[in-house]
A and B are shown apart, each in its own frame.
Chain A
Amino acid sequence: MPRVPLYGEKIFHTINHAAPRVDGADKVTGRAHYAADVCYPRMIFGAMLRLDGVPSARIRSIDTSEALRMPGVLAVLTYHDLPKPKSWAGYMYLTDRVRYVGDVIALIAAETKAQAEEAKKKIRVEYEELPAVFDVREAMKPGAPLVHEEYPNNIFTESRYTLKKGDVEKGFAESDLVVERTYETQYVEHAYIEPEAAVAVENPSNGDITVHASSQNPFFTRRYVADILQIPLNRVRLIQETLGGTFGGKEEGVGLLAARCAYLCRLLHRPVKLVFSREESLLESSKRYPFLFTYKAGLKRDGRILAWQATQIANSGAYNNQTQFMNWRATAHCAGAYNIPNVEADTFGVFTNNIHSGAFRGYSSPELLFAQEQFVEELAEELGMTPIEFRRINCLRNGATVATGAEVQHVVLPEMIDYTADQTDYERRHAENRKQTGPVRHGIGMAISHRGCGYGAESPDAAGAFLIVNEDGSVLLHSGLAENGQGLKTAYCQIAAESLGVPLDSVRFYGTDTHCIPDCGMTVASRGTVMGAQPVRKAGDKLNRILRENAVGLGMFTAGKGGADRDRTAGDIILLDGLFFDPAHPDYKVPLAQVANAALWRGMCLSAYEWYTPPPCVQDHATQQGRAFPTYSYVCVVAEVVVDLRTGEVSVLRVTSSHDTGTAINPALVKGQVYGGILMGMGYGTMEEVVTKNGRVKTQNLDEYLIPTAMDMPEMHINIFECDDESGTYGAKSVGEPAMECVAAAVANAVCNATGRRVRQNPASLENVLLGKKLW
């Protein structure tokens, strides 16, 4: 086995250890309040009306008179009642032109939720159905109904990116073999267990609005609230304390929900609670993009890929303000984790009258990898090589260049492939499986990935953090990035404790409050630790220095103290575990509380604020060549399945997942992410699909939209690799999205190893596996 840098070799004080979650006790006792648990006296309830199953229509009239007379009803609003019915991002708070089944046409407020729901039934709507289009291929045809009049051919022009590295035509001309394949992926739902919720309350003294929302990005949500109310951002406060999972889904949908809720609050001067039912969440929250992929590659007989051409078409649905960001990433990753000299890609989104797509863990990577990692195996097959041989020849390694032309270093990928293959006996079993003849067959499949960490050039990956030491030595941390459940609060407290030099349990990060810290961008792109925590470390380092200066300034380390023969300077002493001491005379220690207390009374500084900006990532717009990301993390997954060819049943037996985490800030949190990512990826590959027919959502609740249960759990093995890449906080990379992105692809490859047939459309459901195609 190759020598690989597995977790366990780095030495840190607080980080790189499996510290317990700081919010754990509140959650296991039921004390933690999620947005729907928040209550205020005299609180009222909202409800939303949509047309049932109509994806495209013009509303002719809405008669709310009877609804308004129903018991407990306080308001019934429609499109014409809102000064600003269209949100800053294009999604509609309320509309009179329905473009998909989730569009809301009326908003009701009543004393109780039941009364609001009853009132909904009394609203009389007259509408005229309009033509609609659902399939991206149909939508692009001349004469197709336009989802938005300003986008001819329904192509979302702002979301179009082209990439050009080298010269693909030359590459194809020099190739011995050219292969082209097409793949398709499905609508998938985040299915966080907590449905979206918001509670808005007005400050009686000044009319400012506070919203508690199940928000992934409190600043992003704040923008919607200020937008609908047409007030400055400094009069809106978003507080996010505990969030029941998001995976990218609680962005636009929650923005709309919070805005509607806040509007009712200001209108009626009562606290308002507005909660999505699971059905509403399935309709109106964003989904994973269905993609249509065509890949074409030129190969040499010796196994090298010379040229790679990609067309990546995303179904944006009816409204979209995400595709343009996602497609930038999809473009940067268009050629997979491979070192290819000539690459060309065209990536764009298409509007349809469907539920809309948005951010979802991976942000295009699980979709791309489903296609690419199978395509790569098809290429190997065409050459008569095994998939692993082919990957070894072409995969990224130190000094290779990615699709954007940037060179990569600290690439542990080749070692990870060998390690994981060895551990799973992949090569031998893959070969043996191909000889099976019976109806029940085993399969083993691999997928690898590279992932640009953080935002990269997509968005400025800057963030800030504010650390305060109180007079008793307790520490408060403020950050604009939010706890989604992934353990960000814990990781940040660990990083703050590590850099500041205090015990972990003295640091408190209670949540994100938009009144207390600047907008630090969204908690997305697995950037929380790699980039988002950089200012936490910087603030910790800075405050550590300030405190040492305070300790010296207060005369606590003059000559004689601790037996030293001279006055110490700040550089002579250390703050560790909440104690100041001179390493040369370590028996004399001064507790932080003593310094802090004295410092407070002397007007000395006890806080630090730092803003971090990463090194620039610059790319040429037309060719996308340049540095797209500060660094990349790598993944190798091997999945083992058993398939019954007579029924199409796929059982995922075991998944081995290797991750390059740089530095694992908290290995227990890393493992948790990877386990969760495996189940989510497995679901994506075998059982999850939001089934739509003519724009209507058929899988309406969790009885029909299936995610894996505990009984579906495979055996899981995790390998955490570390390396010396300095780009991220304490050398950390990303793991949230890498945890999931390769799994469905590995499962598809395993299914093919078992059945001999490619899974060209996701998921590998019963029908798809038995028949080789989907029945709907």
Chain B
Amino acid sequence: MRNFTYLSPKSLPEALRLMREHAGRIRPLAGGTDLMVELRKDDAKLDGMDYALDLCGIPELCGVSQEGDLLSIGSATTHDAVSRSPVLRERAAMLADASLSVGAQQIRNVATIGGNVANAAVAADTLSPLAALDAVVVLRNMEAERRMPLSEFVTGAGKTAIRPDELLIKIVFAPLDGYGTAFVKLGRRKALAISRMNAAAALKIEDGQIKGARVSPGCVFASPRRVSCAEELLLGAAPSRELFERCGKAVSDEMVRITGVRWSTEYKYPALSAIVCRALCIAADLPEEEA
């Protein structure tokens, strides 16, 4: 276990002051489910880390709240809280579903949505629904606050634009009222599973026509994003399985266009199409295919 000094600020200003004081040698400790694993093997990416900043004693960082028309989730809100939040269940259900799919209860009780985003693992479950929601991350240091879209914040696998003295404070987005949403996770087992791939989808259907569409796959891009060419296929059309299959294929085509053909493409191409289609069917409330 790597050695570190444990810091436990009781307020956000105190936390930010510590981030400034030890910038470059300090890491935020949210749920600990990622950081403790890295500390145990003294992972190379912790090079220079001497301080752990426990965020869990800072009340401003926890909870789901309203910010004007937007919803705001404190970065230290646990996956368990996200999955149970009545507000999120009603207005951004796919995000609550994604948090519910993380790990298992013991993990969800401590792991946070902010940790999931800041760690930016390619397979992180909340990145695709947050991208579908056009979520914006809010970063703060002692002086200033920055806001940037999630797709800009995540710059590559496991990399973000966060600065050494900044904390991720909250994630905000406009709720998708009137949308049916879905989050589909493809894993190798039914719990404690890393996403092999996942897909988040949201559809607003009025008078039998798709008026709004969000489609965001997970585990395929270096940075999570919506797939607009796939969404465009949907707008103005009537929901149908055949349409959703085409849309799924469009997402897979985009994956190949952006990331090229790799050893796993042979599998990922059809499987991704299938789960995007599955997610769209659920979002549109079309019956699941039965054997």
Contacts and interface: CB of A to CB of B under 8 A. Distances in A.
A440 B291 contact: yes
B188 A765 contact: yes
A770 interface: yes
Given A766-B196, A770-B270, A649 B291 contact: no
B191 to A, nearest CB: 4
A38 to B, nearest CB: 22
A687 interface: yes
A440 B290 contact: yes
B271 A766 contact: yes
Contacts of B267: 648, 766-767, 770-771, 775
Contacts of A440: 289-291
Interface in A447-464: none
Contacts of A558: none
Contacts of A441: 291
Contacts of A770: 267, 270-271
Contacts of B270: 646-647, 770
A710 B193 CA distance: 12
A622 interface: no
Contacts of A152: none
A712 B190 contact: yes
A775 B269 CA distance: 14
Interface in A337-353: none
A20 interface: no
Contacts of B194: 703
Interface string A748-776: 00000000000000000111001100011
Contacts of B192: 703, 706, 709
Contacts of B264: 775
Contacts of A644: 274
B1 interface: yes
B45 interface: no
Interface string B157-182: 00000000000000000000000000
Q: Max chain A CB contacts within 10 Å: which of B188, B191, B194?
A: B188
A775 B192 CA distance: 23
A179 interface: no
A436 B1 contact: no
B275 interface: yes
A654 to B, nearest CB: 14
Nearest to A683: B189
Contacts of A431: none
A591 interface: no
Interface in B13-42: none
B191 A647 contact: no
B225 to A, nearest CB: 22
A711 B186 contact: no
Contacts of B188: 687, 706, 765-766
B189 A708 contact: yes
A439 interface: yes
Contacts of A438: 289-291
Interface in A103-161: 114
B242 interface: no
Contact of A439 (B263, B266, B289): B289
B237 interface: no
Contacts of A771: 266-267
A752 to B, nearest CB: 16
Contacts of B289: 438-440
B186 A442 contact: no
B261 interface: no
A649 B190 CA distance: 11
Contacts, number: 65
Nearest to B277: A646
Contacts of B229: none
A642 interface: yes
Nearest to B267: A767
B104 A709 contact: yes
A647 B190 contact: no
Contacts of A775: 263-264, 266-267
Given A709-B190, A712-B190, A436 B291 contact: yes
Interface string B120-153: 0000000000000000000000000000000000
A776 B104 CA distance: 28
A706 B189 contact: yes
B273 interface: yes
A305 B247 CA distance: 51
A441 B290 CA distance: 8
A767 to B, nearest CB: 5
A647 B275 contact: yes
B5 to A, nearest CB: 16
Contacts of B274: 439, 644, 646-647
A765 B193 CA distance: 14
Contacts of A439: 274, 289
Contacts of B191: 709-712
Given A114-B1, A438-B289, A771-B266, A709 B271 contact: no
Contacts of A703: 192, 194
Contacts of B196: 766
A441 B289 CA distance: 10
Q: Which of B104, B189, B273 has the most CB of A within 10 A?
A: B189
A691 to B, nearest CB: 12
B119 to A, nearest CB: 14
B290 A766 contact: no
Given A648-B267, A771-B267, A712 B189 contact: yes
B291 A687 contact: no
A756 to B, nearest CB: 14
A28 to B, nearest CB: 20
Given A114-B1, A647-B275, A767-B267, A711 B190 contact: yes
Contacts of A765: 188
A712 B104 CA distance: 13
A710 B277 CA distance: 28
A338 B188 CA distance: 35
Nearest to B194: A703
Nearest to B41: A279
B274 to A, nearest CB: 3
Interface string A675-700: 00000000000010000000000000
Nearest to A646: B274
A642 B267 CA distance: 19
Given A440-B290, A440-B291, A703-B194, A646 B273 contact: yes
A442 B271 CA distance: 19
Contacts of A442: 291
Interface string A703-732: 100101111100000000000000000000
Nearest to A700: B41
B190 A642 contact: no
A647 B291 contact: no
A709 B186 contact: no
Nearest to A704: B194
Of the candidates A442, A647, A648, A775, the one having the most CB atoms from chain B within 10 angstroms of its own CB is: A647
Contacts of A709: 104, 189-192
Given A114-B1, A765-B188, A767-B267, 16 more contacts: A438-B290, A440-B290, A642-B291, A646-B270, A646-B271, A646-B273, A646-B274, A646-B277, A706-B189, A706-B192, A709-B189, A709-B192, A766-B186, A766-B196, A766-B267, A770-B271
Closest 9 CB pairs of A and B: A646-B274, A711-B190, A711-B191, A709-B191, A647-B271, A767-B267, A440-B291, A442-B291, A647-B274
Interface of B: 1, 104, 186, 188-194, 196, 263-264, 266-267, 270-271, 273-275, 277, 289-291
27 contacts: A436-B291, A438-B291, A439-B289, A440-B289, A440-B290, A442-B291, A646-B270, A647-B186, A648-B267, A648-B271, A687-B189, A706-B188, A706-B192, A706-B193, A708-B189, A709-B189, A709-B190, A709-B192, A712-B191, A766-B186, A766-B267, A770-B270, A770-B271, A771-B266, A771-B267, A775-B264, A775-B267
Interface of A: 114, 436, 438-442, 642, 644, 646-649, 687, 703, 706, 708-712, 765-767, 770-771, 775-776
